[in-house]
Structure 1
Amino acid sequence: MEIGRKMMVVVVVLVMVFEGSKAFDLCNMNEDGLMACKPSVTKLNPVTPTPECCQALSGADLTCLCSYRNSFMLPSLGIDPDLVMALPAKCNLTPPTNC
């Protein structure tokens, strides 16, 4: 039951992020930061993360972001979890050791 609740929270959060909700925060990244990073984590033609994305990621809770690695929702939104996990290195940040 706990896994079901967590997945529901993830679904709601991601829908809010990618459908234009305002004043949203995920793992210490606000909506602007999440949207700045979205082009770098989409499956089709990912781009190099922008300075805005890296700045937002530098203040993020990377361990929290890692918890979304195996989420089935990310691929359903066109987000590649492997690209998400590669962002810290591309932004010259040290990813959590258990990620």
Structure 2
Amino acid sequence: MGTVTVKLVVVIMITVGLMVEGSRAISLCDMNDEGLEACKPSVTQPDPVDPTPQCCEALKGANLTCLCSYKNSMLLPSLGIDPTLAMGLPAKCSLDMPSDC
């Protein structure tokens, strides 16, 4: 399979997984749904805001290597998240991204 096809399959699997979760709490890279919601205004256009303390606290407990794996994913834009803003968020919370990100 080509790289694009593999990425598409992964995005579809994640999307289906999120849909199946239904009313259960969503967790992505060790961030729960509350943490994700706290950070969303900081990673969405047209007027992103500085991250809140709640967002930064959620990021402190997140698996940043896992989050980095979504850097070129189609999933983030499909959720209204700007990947460039998302990758810059840890720095705004005084956190270091993995060197291979």
Q: Which TM-score tier does this pair reach, normalised by the shorter chain?
A: 0.7 to 0.9
Q: Name the count of aligned residue pairs.
A: 97
1:47 to 1:15, Cα distance in 2 relative to 1, 3 A: farther
Q: Runs ≥4 in structure 1, deviation > 6 angstroms?
A: none
Partner of residue 84 from structure 1, selected from 74, 83, 86: 86
1:85 to 1:21, Cα distance in 2 relative to 1, 3 A: farther
- On the 8 A contact 1:41/1:84 being kept in 2, the answer is yes
1:31-60 Cα offsets, whole Å, 9 max, x none, are 000000000000210000000000000000
- On the 8 A contact 1:22/1:31 being kept in 2, the answer is no
The worse-fitting range, judged by mean Cα deviation, of 86-95 and 20-29 is 20-29
Corresponding residue for residue 73 of structure 1: 75
1:6 to 1:74, Cα distance in 2 relative to 1, 3 A: same
1:2-52 Cα offsets, whole Å, 9 max, x none, are 824312133335668xxx844111100000000000000002100000000
Query: What SS does the corresponding residue of 2:70 show, helix, strand or coil?
Result: coil
Q: TM-score, normalised by structure 1?
A: 0.84
**Structure 1: gaps (5+ residues):** none
Identity rate of aligned residues, in percent? 59
Q: In structure 2, how many angstroms separate the alpha carbons of the residues matched to 1:77 and 1:68?
A: 12
Corresponding residue for residue 30 of structure 1: 32
Q: Pairwise CA RMSD of aligned residues?
A: 2.3
1:15 to 1:34, Cα distance in 2 relative to 1, 3 A: farther
**Structure 2: gaps (5+ residues):** none
Q: In structure 2, how many angstroms separate the alpha carbons of the residues matched to 1:13 and 1:71?
A: 16
- On the 8 A contact 2:18/2:26 being kept in 1, the answer is no
